[in-house]
Amino acid sequence: MFKVLTRNQISVKGLDRLPRQQYEIASEFSSPDAILLRSHKLTMEEVSPSVMAIARAGAGVNNIPVADCTSRGIPVFNTPGANANAVKELVIAGMTLGSRGILNGMDYVNTLGDMTDGAEMSKLLEKEKKRFKGQELMGKTLGVVGLGAIGSLVARAGLDLGMDVIGYDPALSVDAAWRLPSSVRRMENIASLFARADYISLHLPVLDATRGLVNAELLSNCKPTLKLLNFAREEIVDNAAIIEALDAGRLERYIADFPAPGLIGRDDVILMPHIGASTDEAEENCAIMAAEQLRDFLENGNIKNS
Ligand code: MLT
């Protein structure tokens, strides 16, 4: 019998991949064989000597002390791609929210709540709606930084929307490069991408090389109409540089999946509460993939995505 300690609520569809004749699953165990978690920030104190593997039902592993686990010989699995479609769809929504008067328009409509005269309301809307005019995505240039599972889907979606898509990935695998449509023009460096794009979507993990990557220097060389989207991790942008660029009119909009002090409440910023992968489907896909990886390791010793 393998004991799997869960942190966070894991989709039942994933847990069902661990047959109860062979697996005990609980949120408390004194000596578990494996840990299955989502966004819980794991400490080494929680990793008892009995633990043989850790699986994250999600792509990023920055909530897990991976280096310490590796030095103890514990593989850490993740589920790249399993939530990519969910994130891609929210990025498209983010680009649209950043380009059209949707949010302000909806706020305005809510102010009409007490009106009872429909004809009067139509007259008022006709007069006011020009304030909510926006721009279309078609024909604009989308720069995608990071062309892995999520970035490549965003790039394809951009093409489908009639955008010109340019991409940059400092560590593009040969496989990923082959899968990328040839109409995604690859830039030699991130600065060229920043200089050309109307929209930029970031899809990089947090690594020493990516922490604070989007800094004042990059933002000094972009179009003043740039809309920058960060649905990856907060740490890859320098928030102070974002605020400075917005204040100076060197960046038009920042749209991100992380609320951060200094950015909340600004008209030129749209923030979401890290919900890129929060869909029924993504949670199920991630849980299934994570559980299957654990099972394959515990029963057969196979290591995938670690
Ligand atoms: C991921 O890393 O999979 C996504 O950012 C969502 C999450 O953190 O759960």
Q: What is the pLDDT of residues 35-66, one digit of tens each?
A: 999 999 999 999 999 999 999 999 999 999 99
Closest CA to 60 of 179, 283, 233, 219: 233
CB distance 184 to 155 below 8 Å: yes
User: Residue 214 has what DSSP assignment?
Assistant: B
Among 285, 282, 287, 280, residue whose Cα is nearest residue 14: 287
Amino acid letter, residue 183: S
The predicted model gives 131-142 an average pLDDT of: 97
Ligand 1 atom with least separation from CA of 57: 3
The residues, any chain, with a CB within 8 Å of residue 110's CB and separated by 6 or more, are none
Mean pLDDT (whole number) for 188-208: 97
Quote the pLDDT of residue 114. 84
Position 9 scores a pLDDT of: 93
Task: Please give the domain boundaries of the chain with CATH numbers for all domains.
Answer: 2-82+280-300 (3.40.50.720), 84-100+135-271 (3.40.50.720)
Q: Give the burial class of 84: count Cβ atoms within 10 A of its Cβ; 0-12 exposed, 13-18 middle, 19 or more buried.
A: buried
What share of residues in the chain are helix, strand, coil (percent, to 5)?
40, 15, 45
18 within 8 A of 38, measured Cβ to Cβ: no
- C-beta of 148 in contact with ligand 1 (< 6 A): no
Ligand 1 mutation pick, 8, 63, 76, 83, max ligand atoms within 8 A of CB: 83
Phi, psi torsion values for 25, nearest 5 degrees: -125, 125
What band does 279 get if pLDDT is binned at 50, 70 and 90? very high
- Kindly state the average pLDDT of the residues 183-192: 96
Q: Is 70 left (phi over 0), alpha (psi -120 to 50) or beta?
A: alpha
Ligand 1 atom nearest to 82, measured from its CA? 3
Q: Is 286 helix (H, G, I), strand (E, B) or coil?
A: helix
**159, 165 Cβ separation under 8 angstroms:** yes
ipTM: 0.89
Of ligand 1's listed atoms, the one at least distance from the Cα of 231 is 5
pTM of the model: 0.93
* pLDDT band at residue 175 using 50, 70 and 90 as cut-offs: confident
